[in-house]
Amino acid sequence: MRYIKDSVVINPERDLPLLRQVRNSRFVTHKQLFEFMQFVGSDDRRNSFNWRTKRLLGAGHLSTCDGRFGTGSAIYRITKSGLALLEHHGEFTAILHSNTEHLPHTAQVFHSLELNAVHLALAQKQLLAGWLSEIEIASFNIISQSRYQKDYDAVVEVWMGDRKACFALEYERSLKSSKQYQRVRDALDAERQVECVLYLTAGIEILVHLVHEFESVNKKMAFAESREFSQSLLDTTVITTQHIRRIMFRDLLQ
């Protein structure tokens, strides 16, 4: 079979998982994206992966972010063309689609990359049983009656021996207003889909503030610094709102 010169023929088993991951991450570095593709078994050869991303960039399905973010790596986001291609293959989300007026803003880059780091750390230690991204959660919340009360940064399932445990994940890089936190407290008190919420923070000052903001919430609440969690994962010592005590995260999930 002959193809039109410079046309791009989509491989559903390799191209679609890559585009879907970029969409769900909002932003992802070249290195992180390769690690995601290794994890899902889509592309474990670096030369093949490099060729694939270059080809999707050239076709306009992906774009790189302008600016210096200190990652030493290209940072990708999906384009409207890439979203349309996913939709053509049945990969639609109600929150980010080809008719969305504004694509993810680069102000979200560092937030996205840190969540990617947590996602990959769990996957590489073979602890990850499932990961719903904020885009998937927000889309689910629009179309489902059994919705989550909040568009969490992720809803995560992890393996604990031969059983699974589930928690909602939030990553906080800066503080919100008192009114915003009141709305979050109300949502968490009304939440019935998840029993445990883990807040990861960019620093100890934010962590201490959050512990006090959420001490009245009637739910398992855990707080830790993001970089520490990426290293220790389920063995991270977290702070809880239950008498402001410290406990290993895996014990809280039991």
Q: What is the pLDDT of residues 178-232, one digit of tens each?
A: 999 999 999 999 999 999 999 999 999 999 999 999 999 999 999 999 999 999 9
Mean per-residue pLDDT, 74-85: 97
Answer yes or no: is pLDDT of 39 > 60. Answer: yes
Q: Is 71 exposed, middle or buried (0-12, 13-18, 19+ CB in 10 A)?
A: middle
* Cα–Cα dist 236/250, whole Å: 8
Q: Look at residue 68 in the predicted model and tell me its pLDDT.
A: 76
* Total H helices, total E strands in the chain: 10, 10
pLDDT at 208: 95
- Nearest alpha-carbon partner for 10 in 98, 104, 91: 91
Instruction: Please tell me the predicted confidence (pLDDT) of residue 7.
Output: 57
Question: Is 55 a residue whose pLDDT tops 60?
Answer: yes
Whether 115 has a pLDDT exceeding 60, the answer reads: yes
| Closest by CA position to 219, among listed 244, 249, 185 | 185
> What percent of the chain has pLDDT above 90?
88
Q: Looking at residue 146, what is its pLDDT? A: 83
Alpha helices in the chain (DSSP H): 15-25, 30-40, 46-58, 80-88, 109-124, 134-143, 178-190, 204-213, 226-232, 249-253
What does pLDDT average to over the chain? 94
Residue 35 has pLDDT above 80, yes or no: yes
Does residue 2 have a pLDDT over 80? no
> Quick check: 54 pLDDT over 90?
yes
How far apart CA 184 and CA 87 sit, in angstroms, is 32
